[in-house]
Amino acid sequence: MKTSDFTEKRRSKRLDLSLPVSIRYASGDGKEKSQKGITINVSFNGAYVTDINPANIKLEDKVNISISVPRDEARDFQFSRLVGKAKVARVDDEGVAVDFDEDIYRLCVAN
């Protein structure tokens, strides 16, 4: 396949940001697990998270996510924290891509 064969599915521009993230999810044994990772890119609708073990996270899983945007980065981004539910859109050896649910909270920095 050629690169031109792929269709861009993203609804909004992603920014290359390394931000701390916490993900909570139910593992295969039904127990809630929590991992901390780092984003490599974030948009208004999703993120890609690395530095986590994706072994127990599966495609289409619902996860709880919290992403902190440092004040310096918040100038270029519209919010300082994302908190809520997301759906796993892709899992690979490097990490996971998530799509934020409609009801994710985007907490803004007061100017």
CA distances from 109 to 64, 66, 71, 79, 105 (A): 22, 16, 8, 6, 13
| Helices and strands (DSSP H and E) totals, the chain | 1, 7
Domain encompassing residue 52: 10-107
Q: For residue 5, tell me if it sits in a domain.
A: no
Greatest Cα pair distance in the chain: 48
At 44-101, the pLDDT tens digits run 889 999 999 988 899 999 999 999 877 776 666 667 788 999 999 999 999 999 999 9
CATH number at residue 99: 2.40.10.220
Q: How many domains does the chain have?
A: 1
At 17-35, the pLDDT tens digits run 899 999 999 877 788 999 9
